[in-house]
Amino acid sequence: MNHIRFPVRVYWEDTDAGGIVYHANYLKFMERARSDMLRRIGFGQNDQRGREDGVLFVVASLNIAYHRAAVLDDDLEVITSIEKLGRASLIFEQRIVRSDEPIATGKVRVGVIGARSFVPTPLPNDLYETIKERLSKMQPTADLSILTLVANASLVVKCVLAILVFLSLASWTVIFQKYFTISRAARQVEEFEARFWSGTELNQLLETAKRNHDTAGIEERIFSAGMTEYLKQSRQDPNALNSVSRAMRAVYNREMDHLERSLPLLASIGSTSPYIGLFGTVWGIMNAFTGLSTLDNVSLAVVAPGIAEALVATAIGLFAAIPAVAAYNYYNNRVGRLTVRLEGFSEEFLNILQRQHARS
């Protein structure tokens, strides 16, 4: 449950002849910590004594275990939490620590008595609800969900997260676009090569390519450019095939540029996103530790939310980078294989035209 940390310094009056804290004084430290906790949640004993229905808390039972000895000048902390809040009693769980090293632990049950009658009595309803409400507000359980962490992040971290989300959306947009573009290009190459090597006349293939110019694939466009240039050349021109090769190369370069477009964006997103996220993380951690410098008592529960907020930036950065890098490598490999196939077709087609040119 919720807890408080009550600092205690060991003085001469707290030790025995050997300079070690006398065992009964640990009970005194615990008593002070319990009184401090009750005061923080709105229970003032002097105020209760003036009320007609005022109540006081008295120790009903306790169980304490001693683990190590505390000595003169030690800085101790009494960590106190309410394990159970009842109508007529409270159970406290208390730990005395030195730099988180346990010195003594105990469980104390206190009963409720009337401030004037000194007999057991239940807590008044208004006081019970007040203690319950304020106790819940002392140290609420940190909500470490992603949405809460993002909402509570600093402005700089939010800007970093916005940039990373934008880059991630851009990356996935390119990934889907390239999947359909490259898949369609590969399918069209397969279909055209099947028609090309089926024995269909070149002139007939050229007519089909011109008729379907808007929907033709890369290989069909290369063939159309080469065949069209070949038909324009004189049969006696020895450099005719050079012109055909240049025409095919121009179409090839233009089509490959279109096919590879946006792939560098994936590479850039994959390489820069982790560093952008790391910047947000460093900034968030710096803010978290700057805020801790103003606190007297620091625990993991206090540090965890700030560190978690900062680490969200790194997580989002990796979320943006990993798919981008994987997609870039995959598509780059597919485009590379397609490039080899197109260059091979161009060489084979030039050989066919060269044989025709030689016969003519």
Give the whole-angstrom CA distance, residue 218 versus residue 300.
61
Q: 159 and 312 in contact (C-beta within 8 Å)?
A: no
Query: What six digits make up the tokens of 218?
Result: 């890369």
Backbone dihedral angles phi then psi of residue 153, each to the nearest 5 degrees = -70, 160
Roughly how many angstroms between the first and final C-alpha of the chain, as a whole number?
96
Report which of 86, 85, 39, 91 is spatially closest to residue 61, judged by C-alpha positions.
Answer: 91
Spell out the long-range contacts of 90-99 with Cβ–Cβ below 8 A and sequence spacing 24 or more. 90/57, 92/30, 92/34, 92/37, 94/30, 94/33, 94/34, 96/8, 96/26, 96/29, 96/30, 96/70, 98/68, 98/70, 98/74, 99/75
Q: How many beta carbons lie within 10 A of that of residue 318, not counting itself?
A: 15
Instruction: Determine whether 74 is an active site residue.
Output: no
User: Among residues 16, 73, 75, 143, which one is catalytic?
Assistant: 16
Q: What does the buried/exposed string (b/e) look like for 150-174 if buried means 16 or more CB atoms within 10 Å of the residue's CB?
A: beebbeebbebbebbeebbebbeeb
Burial of 92: CB neighbours in 10 Å, binned 0-12, 13-18, 19+: buried
Q: 14 and 69 in contact (C-beta within 8 Å)?
A: no
Tokens 């485009």 found at: 335
Give the whole-angstrom CA distance, residue 67 versus residue 72.
17
- Dihedral class, residue 81 (left if φ above 0, else alpha if ψ from -120 to 50, else beta): beta
Tokens 């620091």 found at: 298
Catalytic residues: 16
